[in-house]
Amino acid sequence: MRFQPASFRPAFGRGLTVVVIAIAVAGIAGFVTVGDVLGLVRYGWWFAVLAVLAVALFWLPRVDVLEHAVLVRNPLSTWQVPWNAIQIVDTKYALTLTTPRGRIEAWAAPASGRYTVFTLSPEDTRVSESARVAGAIRPGDTLSSQSGAAANHIRRHWEQLRDDGMLDGPLEPGALRRTWHPTTIVVLAALTAAGVLGLVL
């Protein structure tokens, strides 16, 4: 079977981002409409912080399952995880990849709560072989959950590569790497500093 790349992003997070940005814009517009320049200088920065934070936390994070690696984009950094660096795929709290450099949690793929078991259909439990090795299926492994959908896609390709002997080679230096998001970090830091400065004026 030909591998199909996939991306996983929570729809709820994107919807929440739109709502938060709308609130932030309305807050800033309120100061402008009434001509409250002092209020805008003192508090407008915090609405901007709120909007940027929502984008960083809920819009940008994603999990990309690619043919050569799994990319885990979190709010402040992105991990590139080659297939032969993946040791365990877990979903206890969120999609988590255990690697030689430790555990990498995916902000974009949280696990479902324990009460979701009451709303599951048989289709939700048709998970990959390695999801059942430890026994019962966790709520976070079900296909209707953010973590379960991503984990199942990763596990199935990982199992195929394992069975084909494609995971036996050594991990190349630098193949498993973390890349920081300087733009997000600098913008958040600058807006927060401006907000603090505005409060003391």
Is the same domain home to 71 and 148?
yes
Percentage above 70 pLDDT, the chain: 84
Let me know whether 68 and 98 are in one domain: yes
Is 87:100 a contact under the CB 8 Å cutoff?
Answer: yes
Residue 1 lies in a domain: no
How does residue 139 score in pLDDT terms, banded at 50, 70 and 90? low
Range 127-151 average pLDDT? 65
The span from the CA of 8 to the CA of 3, in Å, is 16
Tokens of 115: 């009460």
Say whether pLDDT at 50 is over 80: yes
pLDDT at position 120: 46
> What residues have CB less than 8 Å from 101, skipping those under 6 apart?
85, 176
Q: Domain for residue 54, yes or no?
A: yes
Q: Is residue 142 part of a domain?
A: yes
Q: Chain-centre distance of CA 171, in angstroms?
A: 24
When divided into structural domains, the chain yields a total of 2
In this structure, is residue 2 part of a structural domain?
A: no
Q: At 137, is the pLDDT very low, low, confident or very high (cuts 50, 70, 90)?
A: low
Residues 106 and 157 in one domain: yes
Lowest mean pLDDT among 50-54, 64-68, 97-101, 133-137: 133-137
pLDDT band for 24, please (50, 70, 90 cuts): very high
Q: Are 92 and 169 found together in one domain?
A: yes
Same domain? For 196 and 125 the reply is no
Q: Which residue range(s) make up the domain with 170?
A: 62-180
87 and 134 fall within a common domain? yes
Residues 78 and 171 in one domain: yes
Residue 122 has pLDDT above 50, yes or no: no
